[in-house]
């Protein structure tokens, strides 16, 4: 009992001495971005015992709410997010942040995505293309300006079909409506709950986004196979720090991320989630290039 009390006291003292860093996530618990962050969190805790990382969900706007909160802070704040941060900034003149408001700490690669439909809709993309010609369909998304919204909208334009976007605070929160048929289709990650539900047959995956088929959906064709050019619309996952961050914190975080990515066991964990390119070193202008890319795309 005495040893337990000593251990408990030591833990309380260490936590009191630890610096708290809030990490904002733009999408809800259970989604793909949250799953990648939850995999990283214990690794960061093991590497940086003098920091206490607090997960802070800031939902809405396809990533805008979380991003603007982070850059408004005067001290070190982190943002774990996806490509939606660049898309949202490019698609709205009201967004206040830009690429230079953040510094990249970790690049976790890209997650495969799928075009999924409700259970009562057609089983193939060719059948879906005919089905959507004569009606306006409801598309579920993680908000206007999110990657999944942009891809879904691009697919429908390619098919010359009409759709109405219904925004949710995350793709996973749209799933009950997709299953029930109140939402007709959506784009989401294969690594999320959506992928699990497609495997279980509760919804249908009729197209994999990108250039190669997924092992768990080997019979589902890719967008490239179907002649829909979506290769450039990758939903990368990144860990960012706000530009006002304390330099000591930044250096500690950068060194910790280098150690995490140099550990093969950590890479195996990330890759098992379907992440492609995890641990790669992007160019120094990665964020700015992506912000510029989506700005050009939105101005077409």
Task: Per residue of the chain (300 residues), give pLDDT as tens.
Answer: 555 554 444 444 444 579 999 999 998 888 888 999 999 999 999 999 999 999 999 988 778 899 999 999 999 999 999 888 888 887 777 788 999 999 999 999 988 889 999 999 999 999 999 999 999 999 998 777 678 888 899 999 999 999 999 988 777 788 999 999 999 999 988 878 788 899 999 999 999 998 888 888 999 999 999 999 887 778 899 999 999 999 999 999 999 999 999 999 999 999 988 888 998 899 999 999 989 888 877 665
Distance (Å, rounded) from C-alpha 24 to C-alpha 26? 7
The answer to pTM > 0.95 is: no
Are 163 and 138 in contact by the 8 Å Cβ rule? The answer is yes
Considering the domain 113-217 in this protein, what is its CATH number?
3.40.190.10
Closest residue by Cα to residue 170 from 23, 22, 24, 33 = 33
**How far is residue 223's CA from residue 61's CA, in Å, rounded to a whole number?**
26
Neighbours of 79 (CB within 10 A): 27
pLDDT digits (tens, 9 = 90+) for 256-267: 999 999 999 999
* CA 86 – CA 92 distance, rounded (Å): 11
Q: Which residue has the tokens 């993680």?
A: 142
- The reply to whether domains 2-110+235-298 and 113-217 share a CATH topology is yes
Domains of the chain by residue range: 2-110+235-298, 113-217
Domain 2-110+235-298 belongs in CATH node 3.40.190.150 = yes
pLDDT, tens digit, 9 for 90 and up, residues 150-172: 889 999 999 999 999 998 877 77
């Amino acid at each position: 009992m005495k040893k337990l009390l000593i251990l408990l006291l030591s833990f309380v003292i260490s936590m009191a001495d630890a610096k708290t860093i809030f990490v904002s996530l733009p999408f809800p618990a259970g989604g793909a971005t949250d799953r990648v962050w939850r995999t990283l969190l214990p690794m960061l805790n093991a590497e940086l015992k003098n920091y206490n990382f607090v997960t802070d969900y800031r939902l809405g706007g396809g990533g805008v709410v979380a991003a603007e909160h982070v850059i408004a802070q005067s001290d070190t704040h982190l943002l774990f997010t996806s490509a939606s941060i660049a898309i949202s900034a490019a698609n709205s003149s009201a967004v206040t942040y830009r690429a230079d408001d953040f510094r990249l700490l970790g690049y976790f690669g890209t997650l495969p995505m799928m075009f999924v439909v409700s259970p009562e809709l057609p089983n193939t993309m060719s059948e879906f293309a005919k089905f959507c010609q004569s009606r306006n369909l409801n598309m579920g998304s993680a908000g206007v300006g999110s990657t999944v919204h942009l891809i879904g909208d691009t697919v429908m334009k390619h098919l010359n079909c009409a759709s109405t976007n219904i925004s949710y605070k995350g793709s996973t929160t749209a799933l009950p409506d997709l299953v029930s048929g109140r939402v007709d289709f959506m784009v989401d990650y294969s690594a999320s709950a959506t992928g699990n539900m497609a495997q279980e047959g509760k919804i249908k995956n009729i197209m994999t986004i990108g250039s190669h088929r997924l092992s768990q959906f080997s019979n589902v064709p890719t967008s490239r196979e179907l002649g829909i050019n979506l290769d450039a619309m990758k939903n990368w996952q990144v860990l960012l720090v706000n530009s006002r961050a304390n330099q000591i914190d930044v250096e500690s975080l950068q060194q910790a991320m280098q150690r995490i990515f140099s550990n093969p066991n950590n890479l195996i964990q990330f890759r098992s989630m379907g992440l492609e390119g995890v641990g790669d070193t992007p160019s120094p202008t990665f964020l700015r290039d992506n912000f510029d890319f989506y700005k050009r795309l939105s101005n077409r």
